Structure 1
Amino acid sequence: MDLMQFVPMFGNFAFMIAAFVVALSVIVAIHEYGHYIVGRWCGIHAEVFSLGFGPVLFSRKDKRGTEWQIAALPLGGFVKFLGDANAASVGSDGSVAEVDMRRTMLGAPLWARVATVAAGPIFNFVLAIAIFAGSIMYQGRAVTPVTFGELRDLPPSYTTELQPGDVFLAIEGFPFDDPDREDMLIDLLPLEERLEYLVERDGAEVIAEGPFLMPTAVASVVPRSAADDANIRVGDVITAVDGQGIFAFTQLQELVLAAEGAPLELTLWRDGRELTVTLEPRATDEPRPGGTFERVYRIGIGGQFFFDAQTEAIGPVEAVGLGAESLWNLLTTSLSALQHMIVGQISTCNLSGPVGIAETSGSMAEQGARSFIWFIGALSAAVGLMNLFPIPVLDGGHLMFYAYEAVARRKPSEKAVQVFMFVGLTLILSLMMFTILNDTLFCP
């Protein structure tokens, strides 16, 4: 047996695990730091801040008496506050004198406990907004009206008479920007390899020839999709499907839908070379306006125009607003998807567990730093949302107990808390086992 054949496989696995650990460590560190810093502001003392579980690899005690440590199992983290019986801040270890109870989680006022617990998910949301805003600022915004920048990296057959600075007015007689148009411009254009573009150049209207507006160039690859499994990369250009030449992204979409999951042979252009891959389109539940979902066949790629448009800078204030809007859209879509999964309207394959998240981490890291950082933001938003679910052992479960305390004017009994915590832990472990089976057996 040639052991060298396993080297690439091991390398990919190690890269995937490394990407997963980095993404999870960043998100957990921000989450737990939220608990720590707000707790400190509220007068609650943290004894331990741990990144990871298990045997301690490194630790250091700061001037406030908090032990900062990195543990061997990088699958989470915790903040243990003064007097806590465990890392989940459930119960007291009975070692704190009455005079110091105000510095414990159990002895702090209700408002301080609520703020401290809620800070974890809130910090996750803040991280997501910061990443989304940073990505928006880095990418910029296409100037209005859309202006030609430069031709993308495409096969030599993709030539154009367009010049940098040309302002798009119309394509084949269809206005480029029409606020009253109901159909997308791409659906109105004739399926021809060469189109006529009406542009404004140096104050005059000029007709210039160019390729189809949206060719079959790969702008993005969905992690764990058919395209991802077939090793299709960003920048590839799909030139044929089952030997049939194509030049428009709409042609590719129609052939994928018509296949209804049957295998397709794709011919790719990559860095001047021609490659062939075979893949099977997969049924995908896609969100639609109004909170509904539609099941369609996809291979998991996104398209783009044949050119880079000229861009303008976006200020930090506007970028933060757009980042918050992106977070809101992500959270509402996630909740809608979860609701549709519970009632059986969409597949539970849309739910990823540790295995799926690890695979996605590796895939996004392979696509580059920008994609990986954006993924960290999206995952941070998901972790923040999940922690707000009213399930004991999660932050939302603690907030549920505090809501009861605020209404009943007394804390729930320790026995009741322990029972609910056991139920919550059982639910979380059951969900984790289900998602692992989902990732490995039911929806690999």
Structure 2
Amino acid sequence: MDILGMLPSFGGFVGSLVAFVVALSVIVAIHEYGHYIVGRWCGIHAEVFSLGFGPVLFSGVDKRGTRWQIAALPFGGYVKFLGDSDAASGKDGDAITGLSETERKRTMHGADLWRRAATVAAGPVFNFILSILVFAGIFLFSGTTTDEAIIGKLKPLPGEVELFQEGDRILRVGDAEITDLEGFYLAARDAAPAPTVSYEVERDGQVVSFDSVFPFPPVIDQLQPKSAAMDGGLEVGDVIQSVNGTPVFALSEVQVAAQSNEDKPLDLLVWRNGEVLEKTLTPRQRDLPTADGFETRWLIGFSGGAFFEPTRQTLGAGDALWGGVRQTWFIAQSSLSGMWHMITGAISSCNIQGPIGIAQTSGDMASQGAAEFIWFIAVLSTAVGLLNLFPIPVLDGGHLVFHAYEAVVGRPPSDKALNAMMMGGLVLLLSLMVFALTNDFFCA
């Protein structure tokens, strides 16, 4: 049983909240554990490791004197090191003054510079490690497609898809000769939408010819969170048969209809497990990453593909790990590019989501199954790691800037300057949070 898939049965709000808390708790736990364990390796004593804020629900002290606790508000966490005045690692001057030189070395403010910097950087680094390992695990488990145009598994579709069999090697699509999977995709892209297309396949040493479904039918493989498709009740496996009364046979026809219709409602006939349903959806404007930046399009909010799943091959641990690194880098790079395009006004600032938007996205991903939700946690972990590296006082990146200043000048900023910058950073961070929360309410 897919427990994550049951989340919507609790109700949209509760399901999204539960998914959000689960995702955030995992990410925060890993982030804070990075601070804790590297600090411990560096000889810096952690007094408190807390998941959540506010009243403490459960707690216990380990043999090293660290209190581990779970607090009532599960929207973050912190590690309080010896000598810290608060969860943001502010300096407790009075407490540090009364310590011996040996004890001062065990504080976040008296340890060697490189030890402090390593402890601070460990939080975001552990977020990136989590993302890499999750992506690598998914790649290792699911494998990768081969480069052969061989049918691994047929998708349940109306029409003549049953003429195909698993293991068929596609030799021809229309007039295009197919030698590999890339050739099939190119032929599918160039083919004109039609109810059926002619095929040749190799089956048990024989060449078989017949007409069947369009190579890229309008079937839903994945739903985008916070999309018209998700909110309108479409499901993975649905096949769109008509748009505004016009039959459609190719995924591209649905994309063109959404783009040309813009913000006007679309009436859809949807095939689902032998039943035909009526749905009305209004496309939403979205900014999509491209090779040259971003493009703005009107979308229903789903992705599709071929009428079959290609054969797959297993990946070695090294290849899977490298795939995890590349995927994490791609997410970080896309996020930074998106931020720059928002700053320059090239794309809408509505792309910034607040806690409500992230919670809704969490629920939408969880409703699609465990694999999609785990993937989302890895994506969010990369975003959290990246955000924490921003050079804003209060965040890890701000502390690293202070450490860099100390390395160059030979002394840390004065306590007065630090307090002023920390207050400024807090104001800036709260302002960004309010702006993002406003987007949750006013951006579609």
Normalization by structure 1: what TM-score?
0.94
| 1:264 and 1:280 in contact (8 A); partners too | yes
Q: How does 1:303-322 map to 2 (within 5 A)?
A: 303-322=304-323
SS of the residue corresponding to residue 280 of structure 2 reads: strand
Match of 1:89 in 2: 89
1:9 deviates by 9.4
Equivalent position amino acid for 2:316 in 1: G
Deviation string 1:355-385 (CA, Å, 9 cap, x unpaired) is: 1000000100101111100000000000000
How do residues 232-381 of structure 1 correspond to structure 2 at under 5 angstroms? 232-290=234-292, 292-381=293-382
Of 113, 129, 138 in structure 2, the residue corresponding to residue 135 of structure 1 is: 138
Q: CA deviation at 1:186?
A: 2.5
SS state at 2:408 partner: helix
Structure 1 residue aligned with 2:29: 29
Q: Determine the C-alpha separation between the residues in 2 that align with 1:326 and 1:180.
A: 21
Correspondence 1:117 to 2:148: no
Partner of 1:95, secondary structure, is helix
In 1, distance between residues paired with 2:110 and 2:385?
26
The 5-angstrom pairing of residues 382-393 of structure 1 reads 382-393=383-394
Q: SS of the counterpart of 2:353? A: coil
Q: Which runs of 4+ in 1 moved over 6 A?
A: 178-181
1:144 corresponds to which letter in structure 2?
A: D
Contact 1:162 1:209 in 2 (8 A): no
Whether 1:100 aligns to 2:103 is yes
Deviations 1:177-214 (A, max 9, x none): 57998x94323113222222233333454434331111
Letter in 1 for 2:11: G
Contact 1:162/1:208, CA 8 A, preserved across alignment: no
- Number of aligned residue pairs: give it: 434
- The aligned counterpart of 1:225 is 227
Distance 1:203 1:153 in 2: 26
CA distance in 2, matches of 1:63, 1:146: 59
- For the 8 Å contact 2:200–2:207, the answer to whether it is kept is yes
Kindly report which structure 2 residues correspond to 1:392-407, keeping only aligned pairs within 5 A, or say none: 392-407=393-408
| CA distance in 1 between partners of 2:254 and 2:404 (Å) | 53
Higher deviation after alignment, 306-315 or 103-112:
306-315
User: Against the structure 1 CA distance between its residues 109 and 175, is the aligned structure 2 distance closer, same or farther, given a 3 Å change threshold?
Assistant: farther
Verify: 1:186 aligned to 2:180, yes or no: no
Q: Cα distance, 1:133 vs. partner?
A: 1.1
Shift of 1:305: 1.2
- Residue 94 of structure 1 aligns to a residue in which SS? helix
Cα pair 2:148 2:180 within 8 Å, conserved: no
Q: Offset of 1:434 from its aligned partner? A: 0.5
Shift of 1:119: 0.5
Over residues 101-146 of structure 1, what are the superposed CA-to-partner deviations in whole Å (9 max), with x where a residue is unaligned? 0111101111101110000000000111111111212222122312
Deviation at 1:288, TM superposition (A): 1.3
Tell me what 1:417 maps to.
418
Q: Distance in 1 between matches of 2:148 and 2:17?
A: 44
131, 155, 158: which one aligns with 1:152: 155
The verdict on how the C-alpha distance between 1:33 and 1:431 changes in structure 2, with shifts beyond 3 A counting, is same
Counterpart amino acid of residue 141 in structure 2: Y
**Map of 2:4 onto structure 1:** none
Q: CA deviation at 1:170?
A: 2.7
Moved more, 368-377 or 308-317: 308-317
Give the letter for the 1:79 counterpart.
V
Amino acid at match of 1:69: Q
Equivalent in the alignment of 1:4? none
- The residue aligned with 2:215 is 213
Note the C-alpha offset of 1:164.
Answer: 2.1
Q: Unpaired runs of 5+ in structure 1? A: 1-7
Structure 2 distance, partners of 1:312, 1:178, is 15
Are residues 377 and 245 of structure 1, via their aligned partners in 2, closer, same or farther at CA, if it must alter by over 3 Å? Answer: same
Seq. identity, %? 51
Q: Distance in 2 between matches of 1:21 and 1:176?
A: 48
The corresponding residue for 1:78 is 78
Please give the alpha-carbon distance, in whole angstroms, between the structure 1 residues aligned to 2:141 and 2:315: 8
Cα root mean square deviation, aligned: 1.9
How far 1:316 sits from its partner (Å)? 1.5
Q: Say whether the 8 Å CA contact 1:92–1:106 is kept in structure 2.
A: no
Distance 1:90 1:71 in 2: 21
SS in 2 for 1:430: helix
Preserved contact between residue 354 and residue 436 of structure 1 (Cα < 8 Å): yes
Q: 1:277 to 1:399 in 2, by over 3 A?
A: same
Structure 1 residues 213-268: Cα deviation after superposition (integer angstroms, max 9, x where no partner) = 11111011111111111121111111111121112111111111111221111111
CA contact (8 A) 2:394 2:426 kept: yes
SS of the counterpart of 1:103? coil
